[in-house]
Amino acid sequence: MRSSSHLQILGSGAGDANFGAPDDETSGRFGKHQEPTNLETEKLVLGRRAAVGDMQVTPLLGNHYMNKPYCIMEQESLNFLIERQEQRIFYGLDSSYMMPQTLDLLAGKPVDLAIMDATFGARQIDPVTSGHHNWIMLDETLDDLRARDCINSRTVIVAAHPSCGNIGVHDEVAPQQADKGITMAYDGLVLPL
């Protein structure tokens, strides 16, 4: 197996995780599982920082779908606070309005980059049943983060996880969001930090 700094998904042996893709030894994109110790794992505990390589990662409770009348989390998702040296990144996809305990854990920790769910764009949705943001919900969530000193004028805010059927054409939507200080994600986006 060739050495690579890229994550390689190799499968478990029973059919492997190639998903029908042909073996491609020259590009290294796909490969057969050859040894059982090709992956290191780190158990993450909700709300507790863990060292992962040269980073500190804190898993935070997301809000993908909560049965709100009964206060039952039916579809848990995780968001992450990633810290490396003096930089912080909040990664908050597959999530709607932030859970109170997540906001509490983020309070007073300004992030350099906030990657936020923006699945539904301008589409009107029921925030009670949605596990994703529309523009209105995203703006309200950003206000919650500002009120807790999590984001500020230096924070790079990226709207990600767009649904093509709801967001619209990138080149039309991106300037509207840029006016609010939000960068629309796209394939190949590179951000200076």
Q: Would you kindly state where each structural domain of the chain is located, as residue ranges?
A: 1-39, 41-184
What is the four-CA torsion angle of 99, 102, 107, 113, rounded to 10 degrees? -100
Q: Which residues pair with 115 in a beta bridge?
A: 91, 158
Compute the average pLDDT of residues 5-9.
Answer: 39
Kindly report, residue by residue over 43-102, the tens digit of the pLDDT. 889 999 999 889 999 999 988 766 666 666 667 789 999 999 999 999 998 888 888 999
**pLDDT confidence tier of residue 107, bands split at 50, 70 and 90:** very high
Pairing of strands 50-52, 78-84: unpaired
The predicted structure's pLDDT at residue 34: 61
Compute the average pLDDT of residues 115-132.
Answer: 79
**pLDDT confidence tier of residue 20, bands split at 50, 70 and 90:** very low
128: pLDDT strictly greater than 80:
no
Q: How far is CA 15 from CA 18, 28, 41, 112, in A?
A: 8, 18, 22, 41
Q: Please tell me the number of Cα atoms within 13 Å of 88 on its side-chain side.
A: 17
CATH level 3 topology of 41-184 = Metallo-beta-lactamase; Chain A (3.60.15)
Q: CA-CA distance, 57 to 1, in Å (whole number)?
A: 29
The predicted structure's pLDDT at residue 15: 37
pTM to 2 decimals? 0.74
124: pLDDT strictly greater than 70:
yes
3-class SS at 47?
Answer: coil
Flag the least confident range among 8-22, 94-108, 155-169, 174-188.
8-22
Q: Please tell me the number of Cα atoms within 13 Å of 74 on its side-chain side.
A: 11
Query: How many residues would you count in the chain?
Result: 193
Highest mean pLDDT among 27-31, 150-154, 161-165: 150-154
The predicted structure's pLDDT at residue 141: 93
Neighbours of 63 (CB within 10 A): 25
